[in-house]
C-alpha cells in the first residue's frame, strides 16, 4: 500500500501537465475566420453566369483558385490574363448516352469580373463572375436535359454538333422566337441565342432522295441564282427559304411528285433567277433553302392558327414550325450568301 500513493500523485501530476500543455496550444492557435459571403456562397448569381470563389495567402493565389473553380464548371482550358494555365481534358463515358470521347474546348477568362474582395486574418478572399458561357456550357451547368435520338437534318448544323460534342448527345430541344429574339429551349428553360449561335443552325445537308444544287453559293451585288432540283421518290415536295432573321418564305408548297423528276427553280424562261438583298446592318446576307419530300402534305397554309411564336406575316413563318413540319421527311438544304462587290 505504501507504493500506491506516489503512483496516484504521479497520475494526477501527468493530468496537470497535459492540461497545461493543451491550454498553451489553444492559446497559440488562431481560428481562421471566413467571411459569411464566402462560406455560404450567397452572392447573387444571374442564370447566365458562373461565380468562382477562392482564398489564399495572396490575392493572386486566391484569384487562381477562383479561376480553377470556374474552369472546372465549364470544362475548359483556361488562359487567364497572366501566365496561369489549367486543363480539364477528360475522357469519360457519359451516363446520358452511348457517346464516348474527349471534351476539349478553349475559353479565355480575361473577361472575368472581380465582384467581391476581402482580407481577413492574413487571408485574401475573392469572388469572380464569368458570363461568357457558350450555349453548351449553360445547358451543362444546369444539367437538366434529356437526350434525343431522333436524327433530323438540323442536328447536322454547327450548333447541334457543338452541343453533342460538349454534352455527349443532342439535347431534346426546341427553337422559337419571341419579341424578335431567338431562344433555345431545353426542359422548359429558355436560353437566348446570340446572332452567331442562331446562324450556326444553318446547315448544308444532302439527301439522295431530294437533291438541291444552287447555281452560285457566293453572290456579288446584283447577281442572280437558281436551283437545280432532282427527286428520287414520290411524295409531296416543298421548298422553303430561311432568312438570317429566321423568317421562312414558302417558295413551293406540296407539289405532287412522281419518281425521278428534275427541274430548275425558278423557271429561267420566265425569270432571270433569284437575288439576295444585302443586309444594311451586316453588309452581307445569308439564306438557307430547304427542299423536302414528305409522305403527307405539310400544314404550312394553316400557320395563322398557330400561336404568336409562329406568327405568319405575308406568307412568312418562323423556322421552328418548319422544322417541326419536316420531321420524318426527306430533306436537303443549301446555303447561299452574298458579299459586297469590291470597287476598283
Output the domain CATH number for residue 319: 2.60.40
| 211 and 181 within one domain | no
| 182 and 56 within one domain | no
Sign of CA dihedral 67, 70, 75, 81: negative
Give a yes or no: residue 28 inside a domain.
Answer: no
| 310 and 210 within one domain | yes
Give a yes or no: residue 20 inside a domain.
Answer: no
**pLDDT at residue number 280:** 63
Give a yes or no: residue 128 inside a domain.
Answer: yes
d(CA 81, CA 52): 16
| 232 and 187 within one domain | no
Most confident of the following: 72-76, 157-161, 311-315: 157-161
| 174 and 112 within one domain | no
Separation in Å, CA 291 to CA 21, 204, 227, 328: 86, 11, 10, 13
d(CA 211, CA 11): 97
Q: How many domains does the chain have?
A: 3
Q: What is the domain range of residue 173?
A: 139-197
**pLDDT at residue number 20:** 44
Nine cell digits for residue 282: 451586316
| 276 and 152 within one domain | no
Sign of CA dihedral 67, 69, 74, 78: positive
Give a yes or no: residue 74 inside a domain.
Answer: yes
Q: What is the mean pLDDT of the chain?
A: 74
| 159 and 70 within one domain | no
| 133, 163, 187 - which closes a domain | 133
Which pLDDT tens digit goes with each residue over 165-207?
Answer: 888 888 988 888 777 788 898 988 888 888 889 899 999 999 9
| 172 and 128 within one domain | no
Is the predicted pLDDT of residue 80 greater than 50, yes or no?
no
Within 13 Å and on the Cβ side, how many CA atoms surround 138?
19
Selected residue with higher pLDDT from 77 and 51: 51
Give a yes or no: residue 343 inside a domain.
Answer: no
Amino acid at each position: 500500500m505504501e507504493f500506491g500513493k506516489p503512483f496516484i500523485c504521479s497520475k494526477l501530476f501527468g493530468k496537470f501537465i497535459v492540461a497545461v500543455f493543451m491550454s498553451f496550444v489553444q492559446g497559440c492557435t488562431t481560428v481562421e475566420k471566413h467571411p459569411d459571403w464566402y462560406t455560404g456562397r450567397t452572392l447573387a448569381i444571374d442564370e447566365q453566369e458562373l461565380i468562382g470563389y477562392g482564398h489564399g495567402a495572396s490575392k493572386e493565389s486566391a484569384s487562381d483558385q477562383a479561376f480553377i473553380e470556374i474552369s472546372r464548371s465549364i470544362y475548359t482550358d483556361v488562359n487567364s490574363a497572366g501566365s496561369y494555365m489549367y486543363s480539364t481534358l477528360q475522357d469519360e463515358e457519359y451516363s446520358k448516352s452511348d457517346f464516348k470521347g474527349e471534351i476539349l474546348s478553349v475559353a479565355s477568362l480575361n473577361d472575368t469580373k472581380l465582384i467581391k474582395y476581402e482580407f481577413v486574418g492574413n487571408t485574401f478572399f475573392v469572388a469572380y463572375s464569368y458570363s461568357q458561357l457558350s450555349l453548351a456550357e449553360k445547358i451543362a451547368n444546369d444539367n437538366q436535359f434529356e437526350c434525343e435520338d431522333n436524327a433530323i437534318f438540323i442536328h447536322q448544323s454547327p450548333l447541334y454538333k457543338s452541343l453533342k460534342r460538349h454534352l455527349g448527345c443532342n439535347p431534346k430541344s426546341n427553337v422559337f422566337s419571341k419579341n424578335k429574339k431567338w431562344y433555345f429551349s431545353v426542359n422548359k428553360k429558355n436560353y437566348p441565342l446570340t446572332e452567331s449561335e442562331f446562324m450556326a443552325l444553318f446547315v448544308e445537308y444532302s439527301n439522295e432522295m431530294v437533291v438541291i444544287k444552287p447555281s452560285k453559293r457566293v453572290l456579288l451585288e446584283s447577281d442572280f441564282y437558281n436551283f437545280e432540283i432532282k427527286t428520287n421518290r414520290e411524295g409531296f415536295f416543298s421548298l422553303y427559304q430561311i432568312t438570317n432573321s429566321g423568317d421562312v418564305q414558302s417558295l413551293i408548297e406540296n407539289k405532287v411528285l412522281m419518281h425521278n423528276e428534275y427541274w430548275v427553280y425558278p423557271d429561267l424562261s420566265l425569270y432571270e433567277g433569284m437575288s439576295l438583298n444585302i443586309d444594311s446592318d451586316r453588309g452581307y446576307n445569308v439564306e438557307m433553302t430547304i427542299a423536302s419530300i414528305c409522305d403527307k402534305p405539310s400544314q404550312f397554309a394553316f400557320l395563322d392558327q398557330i400561336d404568336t411564336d409562329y406568327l405568319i406575316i405575308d406568307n412568312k413563318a418562323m423556322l421552328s414550325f418548319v422544322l417541326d413540319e419536316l420531321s420524318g421527311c426527306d430533306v436537303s438544304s443549301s446555303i447561299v450568301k452574298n458579299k459586297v462587290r469590291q470597287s476598283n
